[in-house]
Amino acid sequence: MQGNGASPGWTFLTSHARVLLAIARDPGIRLRDVASHCGVTERTVQNIVADLEAGGYLTRSRAADGRRNVYHIDPAAPFRHPSEADHEIARLLELLGPRPDRLPRHDGAERAPRDR
């Protein structure tokens, strides 16, 4: 375990999972912003989004302004690997996706975490 702040040689989530989670947090996010957030190239994100679309995990449509894409995730889609295929990606999104209690409020203030 590295405690010096250096990046580990591996992580638990794939780039596909990171891209999916970034889109779940902001369905109108630009792919260049996803790339920056995930630490990969924009071309890599384009390929991952194409994979996720082809696999039925997300669809895209045009925003009302006609300039941006808006992504829609199918939370009922199963994981691809046979050992997790009996689980839906909704569980991953619930665990690591957007937390309504931590999203900014419309007045710009952050919501306080709820007691559990």
Q: What is the CATH number of the domain that holds 83?
A: 1.10.10.10
The answer as to whether 108 is a domain residue is: no
- Measure the CA–CA gap between 116 and 79, rounded to whole angstroms: 28
Query: Is 112's pLDDT higher than 60?
Result: no
Provide the pLDDT for residue 7. 65
Work out how many domains the chain is built from and give that number: 1
User: Two tokens at 81?
Assistant: 């690997």
* In-domain check, residue 28: yes
> Do the Cβ atoms of 42 and 35 come closer than 8 Å?
yes
Residue pLDDT, tens place only, 25-67: 999 999 999 999 999 999 999 999 999 999 999 999 998 888 8
pLDDT number for residue 104: 46
Displacement of CA 11 from its chain's centroid (Å): 16
For residue 72, name the pLDDT band (cuts at 50, 70, 90).
Answer: very high
Range of the structural domain that residue 47 is part of? 15-99
Distance CA 68, CA 59 (A): 13
Phi-psi region of 49 (alpha: psi -120 to 50; beta: other; left: phi over 0): alpha
In a domain, 25, yes or no: yes
Tell me if 57 is assigned to some domain. Answer: yes
Greater pLDDT, 19 or 111: 19
